[in-house]
């Protein structure tokens, strides 16, 4: 899969037995800068032609097939040993609000090209069935979180900090709630790219050098999204540099970076405080789990709520590979004829079998 940060593709090889994941091999590859730039233009609305959409759909599909084949080479397995590929694709627009007939979530990455170039049945297009059933189409990982990380007698929050951060609240193995919290890495990455030319702020080193601007943080935290109740999901269509620029004063760039990091921590904790059940522990996955400064800021806020902070590494699945594993699991659910959405999270009319199957 590739997330809203559009930094590249994560691929995992997993074995699934009685719905439990065993991670066998991993592979990550960056997008070519030219392709990434075009994807960012498309997602921002600057490219609107059918030709641009169709060309990028095919290009991403070919990149996904290369990532899958590279993963197989690392694992020394033939394609005939693989049951299926689950492809999330690349989200280029997510609009779950408005009149029902105008809501959509669009992922590109031609699944036919993946099936053709890998010789493996491919399951893709997971979000649109949930949208068709009246749901947000996101988040889709809560059932996976419940299956892998639920523990009888414990209330846990699993938070993925990717481009957008999303949370699943579990009471034992039951999904109590789930939602997109707000910006995760998307603003942090975009700001450091603008001012330092780096793809991301490694370990949060830049933001750690500065303190947040409280007045700016207050303005950012007043965004209406943060006070909305679920079901709710969002993306860079809302939280982007244009939105950020409109709130800025004369703050130095490093102070802005620190404030964005604090906003990410605020959004996660604030969204959990709105839930009826308070988790005993919060486990982070996604790239944000490796951002030392962000984790420090999150720890400070959670400590005040007496919530323990950890990562999913403690629960048996490395933080950076959770979301890719989730879409392998969702593909397995599709092939088994089992629903993949949690209607309490997305707001869909009921459980639905997600995705379309493209035979090898």
Q: Domains for the chain: give ranges and CATH numbers.
A: 8-137+320-358 (3.30.420.40), 142-319 (3.30.420.40)
State the pTM of this model.
0.96
Annotated binding-site positions = 3-10
Among 90, 65, 12, 16, smallest CA distance to 338 is for: 16
Closest C-alpha among 333, 326, 356, 332 to residue 138: 326
Residue 47 pLDDT > 80: no
**Residue 255's pLDDT band (boundaries 50, 70, 90)?**
very high
How confident is the model at residue 234, as a pLDDT? 95
* Residue set of the binding site for ATP: 3-10
Percent pLDDT > 70 in the chain is 100
Between the alpha carbon of residue 46 and those of residues 40, 95, 175, 243, 353, the distances in Å are 9, 16, 38, 16, 34
Give the residue from 47, 111, 59 showing the smallest Cα distance to 85.
111
In this predicted model, what pLDDT tens digit does every residue of 109-145 receive, in sequence order?
A: 999 999 999 999 999 999 999 999 999 999 999 999 9
Q: Residue ranges of the alpha helices (H) in the chain?
A: 33-44, 50-75, 111-118, 128-132, 142-149, 186-196, 205-208, 214-221, 241-245, 253-273, 292-304, 322-335, 343-346
Phi then psi for 182, rounded to 5 degrees?
155, -155
Q: What is the mean pLDDT of residues 264-293?
A: 96
pLDDT of residue 201: 96
Q: Does the pLDDT value for residue 182 go beyond 90? A: yes
Token reading at 300: 């400070």
* 46-66: average pLDDT: 94
């Amino acid at each position: 899969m590739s997330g809203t940060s559009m930094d590249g593709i994560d691929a995992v090889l997993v074995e699934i037995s009685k719905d439990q994941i065993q991670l066998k091999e991993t592979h990550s590859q960056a997008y070519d800068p030219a392709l990434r730039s075009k994807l960012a233009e498309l997602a921002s609305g600057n490219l609107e032609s059918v030709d641009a959409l169709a060309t990028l759909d095919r290009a991403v599909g070919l990149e996904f097939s290369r990532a899958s084949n590279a993963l197989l080479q690392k694992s020394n397995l033939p394609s005939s040993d693989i049951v299926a590929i689950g492809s999330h694709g690349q989200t280029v627009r997510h609009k779950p609000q408005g009149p029902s007939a105008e809501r959509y979530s669009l992922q590109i990455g031609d699944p036919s090209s993946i099936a053709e170039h890998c010789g493996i049945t491919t399951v893709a297009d997971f979000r649109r069935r949930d949208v068709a059933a009246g749901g947000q189409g996101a988040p889709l990982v809560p059932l996976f979180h419940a299956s892998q990380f639920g523990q009888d007698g414990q209330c846990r929050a699993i938070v993925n900090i990717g481009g957008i951060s999303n949370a699943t609240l579990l009471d034992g193995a039951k999904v109590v709630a789930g939602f997109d919290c707000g910006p995760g890495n998307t603003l942090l990455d975009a700001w450091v790219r603008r001012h330092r030319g780096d793809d991301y702020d490694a370990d949060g080193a830049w933001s750690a050098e500065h303190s947040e601007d409280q007045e700016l943080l207050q303005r950012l935290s007043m965004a209406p999204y943060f006070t909305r109740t679920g079901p709710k999901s969002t993306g860079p269509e809302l939280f982007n540099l244009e939105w950020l620029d409109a709130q800025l004063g004369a703050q130095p760039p490093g102070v802005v970076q620190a404030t964005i990091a604090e906003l990410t921590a605020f959004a996660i904790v604030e969204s959990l405080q709105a839930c009826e059940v308070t988790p005993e522990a919060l486990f982070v996955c996604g790239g944000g789990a490796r951002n030392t400064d962000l984790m420090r800021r999150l720890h400070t806020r959670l400590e005040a709520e007496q919530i323990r902070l950890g990562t999913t590494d403690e629960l048996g699945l490395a933080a950076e590979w959770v979301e890719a594993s989730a879409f392998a699991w969702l593909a397995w659910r599709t092939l088994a004829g089992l629903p993949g959405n949690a209607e309490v999270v997305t707001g869909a009319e009921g459980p639905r079998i997600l995705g379309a199957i493209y035979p090898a």
